Amino acid sequence: MNEVPMTPTTEIAARAEAYRERYAAVCDEIRKVIVGQEEVIDGVLTSVFAGGHVLLEGVPGLGKTLLVRTLARVLHLKFSRIQFTPDLMPADITGTNIVTESPSGGRQFLFQPGPIFANVVLADEINRATPKTQSALLEAMQEQSVTVAREVRRLEEPFFVLATQNPIEQEGTYPLPEAQVDRFFFKLLVGPPCLEELDAIIDRTTGTEEPELRVILDGPALLEMRALCRAVPIAPHVKEWALKIVMATHPDSELAPPQVKRFVRYGSSPRGAQALVLAAKTRALLDGRYNVSFDDIRRSALPALRHRVLLNFEGLAEGVQPDDLVQEILESLSPAGDGEIG
């Protein structure tokens, strides 16, 4: 039987379908360990496949650390965990030069890499470290390199930082600088399980069976999927709507709704637009499409923008939630032909 020749259209469709199948396989493996948290799993994988960092916010005990560790196993990537504490120093993250004895009997400096030299780095309770230590992550997250003793050392790709913070306990914590928060691709809110999920968690964690995880991807395959994601086209009118959403987060913009003008101090930086478009491209591939729709933009808006909308004093005093402001922006700028593919 003769094979049907591959056309550019069928080749793109085949690559999109392969992307979707790999994504689904990774999700299935993670669900062997993590119960529920579908939105969080989807958000983490979207960020990882798009090449971004993630900030996970939730109270302790909800499986944030386990999720990150499981992800690293399924993707066959080197995993490192950094427990942030008030006495943690920058050198504890980046590494340092130590004095060792050379074979000839002399002394020499030898670089001892820190835990940042991994593919998947879990920054646990990142808001417990001092700003000086938090800033040690800044260069790594943006430049994928660290500077030790005036020497720049590159980090191996792929490289992702997945940080956690507790929103309730404020004593002994240091709020993350806006510059560092902005470098997180997504901010995901981890909520408590429902009754059925809690029942499944108890069954899995108090029994004798251990789930066996399969390796689905590796580093080179993940980088290939990232490149495919970036190649997805976006129509000008869909991109324009995404940019208008970002512009509407600024209180001095004519596109900003009344609540934004009243309660917001600063809106999103251009990184918010980058995250919004890249996340939408990833979601398009997951739906088996090689083009971005309005709905892809809408579904990506909350995790991409909630941490980039900074409230003013009145907004903080009134207990305004950034999610509500982003939702109001989406409603006020709802495009014609809602949900159509661009």
Torsion angle (degrees, nearest 10) of CA 128, 131, 137, 139: 170
User: Do 208 and 239 belong together in one domain?
Assistant: no
Residue 285 in this model has a pLDDT that exceeds 50: yes
CATH of the domain at 87: 3.40.50.300
Q: What is the pTM assigned to this prediction? A: 0.84
Of 83, 82, 91, 182, the closest CA to residue 138 belongs to 182
User: Do 90 and 117 belong together in one domain?
Assistant: yes
pLDDT score for 165: 85
pLDDT score for 171: 63
Average pLDDT value for residue range 165-189: 80
Q: For the segment 308-330, what is each residue's pLDDT rounded down to a tens digit?
A: 999 999 988 988 899 999 999 99
User: Do 175 and 300 belong together in one domain?
Assistant: no
Identify the top-confidence range among 74-78, 107-111, 173-177, 287-291: 74-78
Distances (CA, A) of 314 to 9, 114, 256, 306, 311: 53, 42, 17, 18, 8
User: Do 227 and 240 belong together in one domain?
Assistant: no
Which of 231, 252, 282 lies at the terminal end of a domain, its last residue? 231
Whether 114 and 95 have beta carbons less than 8 Å apart is answered as yes
User: Do 128 and 103 belong together in one domain?
Assistant: yes
List, as own/partner pairs, every contact residues 96-100 make where C-beta atoms lie below 8 angstroms and the sequence separation is at least 24, other chains included.
Answer: 96/148, 97/148, 97/149
User: Do 217 and 240 belong together in one domain?
Assistant: no
User: Do 227 and 237 belong together in one domain?
Assistant: no
Q: Tell me phi and psi for residue 112, to 5 degrees.
A: -105, 105
Range of the domain at 327: 232-342
> Is the bond into 158 cis (omega within 30 degrees of 0)?
yes
The Cα–Cα gap between 158 and 81 comes to 16
User: Do 99 and 243 belong together in one domain?
Assistant: no
Helix (H) or strand (E) holding 57: strand 53-57
SS3 (DSSP) at 151:
strand
What interhelical angle do 219-230 and 270-286 show, nearest 10?
A: 100
User: Do 215 and 239 belong together in one domain?
Assistant: no
Helix boundaries (H) for the chain: 8-31, 38-50, 64-74, 90-94, 131-134, 136-143, 178-181, 195-205, 219-230, 236-247, 258-263, 270-286, 294-305, 313-318, 322-332
Q: For the segment 112-150, what is each residue's pLDDT rounded down to a tens digit?
A: 788 888 888 998 888 888 888 888 787 788 888 887 777
Identify the top-confidence range among 155-169, 172-186, 310-324, 326-340: 310-324
Q: Count the domains in the chain.
A: 2
User: Do 108 and 240 belong together in one domain?
Assistant: no
User: Do 239 and 117 belong together in one domain?
Assistant: no
Higher pLDDT, residue 98 or 248: 248
Which of 200, 231, 262 lies at the terminal end of a domain, its last residue? 231
Distances (CA, A) of 93 to 69, 127, 152: 18, 15, 15
CATH of the domain at 247: 1.10.8.80
User: Do 303 and 205 belong together in one domain?
Assistant: no
Q: Mean pLDDT over all residues of the chain?
A: 83
Which of 215, 231, 247 lies at the terminal end of a domain, its last residue? 231
SS3 (DSSP) at 303:
helix
